[in-house]
Structure 1
């Protein structure tokens, strides 16, 4: 589905960015904040199911997720989809296209998504004039690699039950750090098809696996997604140690 994107005149000043108040993210130096504020061109609103970037496309822009959920994925020629990772507030989107010339994966909105828009042609200024921000970009890319390592381990070596427990625990922790739950119920806006496409399982196998998690009172499936009832229990079942608490950068 390719739902139209909306370029909005609304612009959240970087000085008032809601992500800056979260303990998850490091603070900008005054000169860095001034540069990022000038670097930002505007904001993009994408409806659920809308395409942010398409595999093989060339984009003039980089994006930072300001609000909402999305995911990265690749498609096979016969239409089968592999979801690679999920994007949340603070994540950088489109860096691969900036450095490689074209996107090697697609990015889609999972919920209503708000993105800060940056001119990718100015990325060189980050490396020339702001070495701390350049390090941050490198850190973000390295962290993405680290996450993909864990995902690959999960798909290759964990059982179906452990894979599902790991994925839901991972998404829950990341969303908590990004304040996506906003003190409301801990619910992930995901379908069973998304989970199947992430774990490399059939939809039937996925359904049976999620029922087992529900029977253990770890999750509850709802109309709007998956409610997490016991995140610690999911993590123990998966054998995953969890995310390391740290102050991470964002652009």
Structure 2
């Protein structure tokens, strides 16, 4: 039997990005968690239209969440990082309205969807956290709409790279001045409503300006403050979020 991480030993929950759990909440999560699954790079964690009996929290690895149109075109909705919750939509709506594809090998903690009601009855603080997680998603999607509607191409790319950098640094994934970057330029283009040529040109422009480097599946941001200014991101806001 493969090793399953005890919630007491979770490498994520003590990160400053996440709201600390109380002793009672931690004890509940140890009972609520039913196991872990490993998903290899390139495989779907969930598919559009799929029904799933579980919720999942990303313990390690990264993915892309996308929506496929009937004619085969793809819209990337957002990127998935350690600590993100998957399956809430399919848990409440009966099926997933999007796909999640692993861009690296992933490990996910699993929770039975059928016991969500117990969470609301016995752990209202955790139930509130579930609502909070949904609100965080709504806020990010609102910011994405603003990006697509109001930011120009250079600002869009700067916004995406800045958000990825901030998230991975907050997760403690910076090593030697760089963070992992498994995302293809096509993924960025599909997320930002740009052509891949346009996306590449803007990344080159940011590199020539001395702001970023993207190479060998790593991202370096030489001046995070300038990149945030270019992307028109409020640097004063440091969002924290619950982790399930």
Q: TM-score, normalised by structure 2?
A: 0.94
2-structure distance, mates of 1:160, 1:207: 11
8 Å contact from structure 1 (residues 67, 115) kept in 2: yes
8 Å contact from structure 2 (residues 165, 219) kept in 1: no
The 3-state SS of whatever aligns with 1:12 is coil
Matched, 1:194 2:204: no
The 3-state SS of whatever aligns with 1:78 is coil
Superposed CA RMSD in Å reads 1.6
- Decide whether aligned partners of structure 1 residues 246 and 206 sit closer, same or farther in structure 2, where only a CA change above 3 A counts: closer
2:61 — aligned with what?
A: 68
8 Å contact from structure 1 (residues 72, 87) kept in 2: yes
State the Cα distance separating 1:232 from its structure 2 match. 1.8
2-structure distance, mates of 1:193, 1:212: 17
- Decide whether aligned partners of structure 1 residues 58 and 243 sit closer, same or farther in structure 2, where only a CA change above 3 A counts: farther
- Decide whether aligned partners of structure 1 residues 243 and 101 sit closer, same or farther in structure 2, where only a CA change above 3 A counts: farther
* Unmatched segments (≥5 aa) in structure 1: 1-7
2-structure distance, mates of 1:83, 1:163: 14
Equivalent position to 1:122, from 109, 112, 115: 115
How many residues end up aligned between the 2 structures? Answer: 244
The 3-state SS of whatever aligns with 1:20 is coil
Matched, 1:37 2:30: yes
8 Å contact from structure 2 (residues 56, 86) kept in 1: yes
- Decide whether aligned partners of structure 1 residues 181 and 44 sit closer, same or farther in structure 2, where only a CA change above 3 A counts: farther
Q: TM-score, normalised by structure 1?
A: 0.92
* Unmatched segments (≥5 aa) in structure 2: none
State the Cα distance separating 1:246 from its structure 2 match. 4.2
2-structure distance, mates of 1:127, 1:238: 39
1-structure distance, mates of 2:181, 2:131: 28
- Decide whether aligned partners of structure 1 residues 243 and 81 sit closer, same or farther in structure 2, where only a CA change above 3 A counts: farther
2-structure distance, mates of 1:188, 1:17: 23
1:236 — aligned with what?
A: 229
1:143 — aligned with what?
A: 136
